Every structure is written in structure tokens, then in C-alpha cells.
Amino acid sequence: MQERRPQFLKNTAEVITVGNELLIGKILNTNAQWLCRRITTLGGRITRVTTIPDEVDVIALTIKQALSRKPDFIVTVGGLGPTYDDKTLQGVAKALSQPPQLNRKALRMVEEKYLELSAKGIVRKTNITAERAKMARLPRGANPLFNPVGTAPASLSHNGRTLIISLPGVPSEMRAIFDNSVTAIAVEKFSNLHFKEKSMMVKNVPESELAPLVDEVMRSFPTVYIKSHPKGGGKHLLLELHFSTYGRSGEEARKTVDSSSKMIRGMIRKI
């Protein structure tokens, strides 16, 4: 069977989630889904999500491998805090050969956070210990991104055409920094493509009978991706058919998704 290549080789992004808590299955990776959804909606195409342990060498190698695929964005999540096992920026630094160094702007952000926490009576001491300074150590040449919710700033680096963005793993912090600082960059970078999708429920048609129809519609609409999702078994077969596409405009994408779903609806009636 011939391989259908992705229609748009541009606008690619990879997500790397770092954390042993994910690998032992303690935590469900909702961060990955949130980022995939957000970036897709902004016109980006996520080509890979990788979850790896808190080990500098593994992080560095995984980022190097991602860089070799030349995506527009690499977004790492987790491992930015003050504790021993927060190693993501060391891994990024190693991958980029840009040793971690104290970033003045990041240090200012951390200092102000502790003054704020102290004013609220949440912490007693505001001095910058080694652990606190650690959060301001970014790869050389990186820019800190303000964290509106927590203490550790995020980090933004460049490598060739790729932006490397490192976000903290606490979901509220990750989301706030993304919305605050990354969305605008993504909107600009991915404005040439628009993602649209549509779902259709199909009753009492086995997936195996639907398969050749799906194949035919995908041949007629080469930019459309159709995926069937079986929805529970029992006496009645229920399938969700999910249509998605990227278009040069939102309108174009919507029309393509609508036309392809109408085509298959007509074919199903004739089964």
C-alpha cells in the first residue's frame, strides 16, 4: 500500500515531556495533550511527542535528535524547578553547546517572585540561595519568559530555524506562560495554515466495511485526514468518523472538511 505523505511539511513542532513521574505512570500526561491541541489549533503540526526521564544526557540527546528533524518549534515541559531532579535546562544547554549561566533578567524575575511571596507571608526568607539561583541559570543566549503563576521562568532559545521553548511542568504555569509569551510567536509563525475538523457518528457499519470508502474519500480530498474511532461495542456498532485538514484559510479548510464528510455520508447511504 502506498504511503500517503503529510500534505504540509512546514509548521512542525515536537513536544518533549520530561519527568520520571510520567514514566512510572503516576501522572497522566495532560500537558502533552493541551500543547498538542493548542499548537494544532494555531496552525502547527505536532510530529512527535516524547516522554523521557530526568537525565541530562537523555534530555540532550533527545533534543539533538529533534533538532535534526528541523521542526519550527521544540517545546519541552517539566524540569525547571529548584530541586535536584530539575535538569531540563542543563539538557537543553548541552544539546545546544551553550553552557548554562546565570541570566540577569531571569534572576530579576526570580528575586521579584520571592519578594512577592514574602510580602504575602508565604515564604520567610527572600535571599537567593543556590537552589533559587538555579532557576535563573539558562542556556547561554536564551531569553527568560515570565511566569505569571509560579517562580521558575521559562526559557526560549534559537538553533537554526528552530525555536526551543522550555516550560515548567505544573499545568497552570505551563498554560499561563504559553498563553502569555508563546501564543503570539506561534500565531505569527503558523499564520499560513488553518486547522479545521469535524466528527460524524456512523451506526451499524463495521469498520472493515467503511475502510474502502474512507480510502476513496481520502483519495478525492488529499489534504483531508479521516480517522475512525470505534465507540463501544454491544449490540449496535457505533463509529466516530473524524475529519481534519489544514487549509490556506479557515474558510477553505472548513469547506474541504464539509465536502469530504458529505461525500462519505452519501456513500454510506448506498451500502
Stretch 139-158 residues interacting with a second copy (CB under 8 A)? 149-151
**Orientation angle between helical segments 207-220 and 250-269, nearest 10 degrees:** 140
158/240 with CB nearer a second copy: 240
Q: Does the footprint of a second copy cover residue 85 (CB under 8 A)?
A: yes
Shortest distance (Å) from residue 208 CB to a second copy:
4
Rounded to the nearest 5°, which phi and psi values hold at 6? -60, 145
Shortest distance (Å) from residue 252 CB to a second copy:
18
- Choose which of 83, 192, 220, 249 interacts with a second copy (CB under 8 A): 83
Hey, which residues between 224 and 243 contact a second copy (CB under 8 A)? 225-230, 233, 235-237, 242
Q: Which stretch binds a second copy (CB under 8 A): 45-53, 101-109, 176-184, 186-194?
A: 45-53
Q: Which stretch binds a second copy (CB under 8 A): 101-109, 115-123, 177-185, 255-263?
A: 115-123
- Choose which of 7, 8, 10, 56 interacts with a second copy (CB under 8 A): 56
Shortest distance (Å) from residue 103 CB to a second copy:
17
Cα distances (Å, whole numbers) of residue 91 to 59, 100, 203, 225: 5, 9, 49, 35
Q: Does the footprint of a second copy cover residue 80 (CB under 8 A)?
A: no
Q: Does the footprint of a second copy cover residue 35 (CB under 8 A)?
A: yes
158/231 with CB nearer a second copy: 231
Distance of alpha carbon 154 from alpha carbon 83, whole angstroms: 16
Hey, which residues between 172 and 211 contact a second copy (CB under 8 A)? 195, 197, 206-211
Cβ-proximal residues to 246 (8 Å cutoff; 6+ apart), any chain: 7, 8, 11, 43, 45, 193, 194, 195, 223, 253
- Choose which of 23, 185, 238, 263 interacts with a second copy (CB under 8 A): 23
Shortest distance (Å) from residue 152 CB to a second copy:
9
Q: Which stretch binds a second copy (CB under 8 A): 114-122, 186-194, 247-255, 261-269?
A: 114-122
